[in-house]
A and B are shown apart, each in its own frame.
Chain A
Amino acid sequence: MKRNVVVSWLIVLVGVLYFFVPLLGTFEFSLRYRRGVYSFEAYQIVLNDPVFRATFTYSTVLALATIVVGVVLVVPTAYWIQLRLPRLRPVVEFITLLPLVIPAIVLVFGYLRIYSSASVLPLTSTETTTDVLLTFSYVALSLPYMYRAVDTALRAIDVRTLTEAAQSLGASWGTILVRVILPNVRVGVLSGAFLTFAIVIGEFTMASLLDRPAFGPYLQLVGANRAYEPSALAIITFAITWACMGLIQLFARRTAAQLAGAH
């Protein structure tokens, strides 16, 4: 048994090396902007770059729009499937998994053909409608995660009883969804939202092919032309991903504690 534990530690050590050395390497590289001394110069340059600010803001707004559209689409659907149409569950679940099966680049290829300026619905003809198309592309991309997060949360509550209780008090469908169901699946919605944010913020393929000034294409451009700034950007992006995942855990744990406290 002792020997097994040593082997276990060795495997963990290999994992730690593989995962931390690139982070360390990136961090060290990002500090090398000035010859001979470590400095945060690369970060200063990046953070003061107006293009960084513009693209980062653009992607943040798009991520928030994606989350709103995703929640509006997924919560009522998952709720309705659970309450009234359980027979459709396998179909809906299959559809929500399609974005994992169809590569993002293939999806956006299809959009460019279907919604070209010559088509019935020319979404790519103006910048605003392209932004709408990109938002919906991201909703599609994050659908598997958002749906699963919300569906798991819905299964943990008694949807039928809550609905009937609300109905008997005279609540409309809108009131039930917004004031009864949504608060009860808050944790699922939040974890879906943060995961969506982490996916959307640095997304490259769709933004680049739809030709929108998002953060992902900016990252690529900096990477092709600069030496130290890309490392600083990688560290910043990693910190954002870490923050998103950390917040998911935090909310999940707080709710678990609340549930445990209620019993």
Chain B
Amino acid sequence: MPPARQLSWAWVGVVPFFAFALMFLIIPTSFLAIGGFQDGQGRFTLQNLVDLFQPTILSSYWISIKVSAASAIGGAVIGFLLAYVAIAGGLPRWVRPTLMTFSGVASNFAGVPLAFAFLATLGRTGLVTALLVNLFDFNIYRTGFNLLSFWGLTLTYMYFQIPLMVLIMAPAIDGLRREWREASANLGASAWEYWRYVALPILWPPLLGATLLLFANAFGAIATAYALTGSSLNIVTIMLYAQIRGDVLHNPNLGYALALGMIVITGLSNAGYIWLRGRSERWLR
């Protein structure tokens, strides 16, 4: 067969994939995105985007952003520390594969069961709550803590954020060469100077990129929050859920704009992640 003819028919092989992508990813999303710019009669308008700035919607975006940012930053810091000490912290060999396997499990242990686990632990009758009362006569609920709140949700989200960070950062930490550390020590650098002038300048793109990925990961989540708080904590995914179920905004097109706003936020943080990943590949391979 002449190569020209092979090429001209080669695209047929990817038709099913692109048909799937159009039907289940691109067209549904575009429908919502376009609907966000239309009024009830299908005419072009920017009114829906303006209406997003009403206090209830704005506050639901804001609490989502706060929970996602807090759980992303907390998850990134702890996840990085864990991955670093397991790989380069002088611990026995078995620590690393154990941590990796566990991270694979824990990063997938999300949704409704995760909410149950935290309710059983830190809920009003949970194990830790009861232990603290019995041992130290210390009731965390009297200090103002509530699992069904910003901090409770953040603490719960970190259960899948930390292991995700471990999985993303392990290759980058592997890329830090031992020679760099030794060379800087030979030149008289302290541990702090090594981190400040060598390790962090190399690691910050993957660190920041992974944090953005964690942010998007938490921002789109709903099941954990729904099972944990019902609708008492009005994050944007829960508001969208209510809108899909029963048009609580009394304006379908405003619902599309709500979804569009979410895509923009997760899209931007993912774009940041991809850009930073490109940058980090220069040093770490």
A residues contacting B by CB (< 8 A) are 1, 4-5, 7-9, 11-12, 14-15, 18-19, 21-26, 28-30, 73-74, 76-77, 80-81, 84-85, 88, 92, 95, 97-114, 136-137, 139-140, 195, 198-199, 202-205, 209, 216, 219-220, 223-224, 230-231, 233-234, 237-238, 241-242, 244-246, 248-249
Q: A30 to B120, Cβ gap below 8 A?
A: yes
Q: A234 to B117, Cβ gap below 8 A?
A: yes
Q: B89 to A4, Cβ gap below 8 A?
A: yes
Expressed in whole angstroms, the Cα–Cα distance for A9 and B85 within the complex equals 8
Q: A80 to B220, Cβ gap below 8 A?
A: no
Partner of A4, one of B21, B28, B90, B227: B90
> Quick one: given A204-B226, A245-B105, are A106 and B240 in contact (CB under 8 Å)?
yes
Which residues of B (226-242) have their CB < 8 Å from a CB of A? 226-227, 230, 237, 240-241
Q: A28 to B127, Cβ gap below 8 A?
A: yes
> Quick one: given A73-B17, A101-B270, are A202 and B111 in contact (CB under 8 Å)?
yes
What is the predominant secondary structure among interface residues of chain A facing chain B?
A: helix
Partner of B109, one of A1, A74, A241: A241
> Quick one: given A101-B267, A103-B262, A223-B227, are A19 and B86 in contact (CB under 8 Å)?
no
> Quick one: given A102-B266, A114-B28, are A77 and B230 in contact (CB under 8 Å)?
no
Q: A245 to B113, Cβ gap below 8 A?
A: no
Q: A25 to B120, Cβ gap below 8 A?
A: yes
Partner of B159, one of A19, A73, A204, A241: A19
Q: A23 to B216, Cβ gap below 8 A?
A: no
Tell yes or no: B50 within 8 A of A by CB: no
Q: B113 to A203, Cβ gap below 8 A?
A: no
The residue in chain A whose Cβ has the minimal distance to the Cβ of B11 is: A85
Q: A230 to B159, Cβ gap below 8 A?
A: no
Expressed in whole angstroms, the Cα–Cα distance for A95 and B244 within the complex equals 25
> Quick one: given A103-B237, A111-B28, A242-B105, are A209 and B244 in contact (CB under 8 Å)?
yes
Q: A204 to B259, Cβ gap below 8 A?
A: no
Tell yes or no: B276 within 8 A of A by CB: no
A18-B158, A109-B255 given; name 12 further pairs at CB < 8 Å.
A4-B89, A12-B99, A14-B78, A18-B159, A80-B10, A100-B217, A202-B111, A216-B223, A223-B227, A234-B117, A237-B109, A238-B105
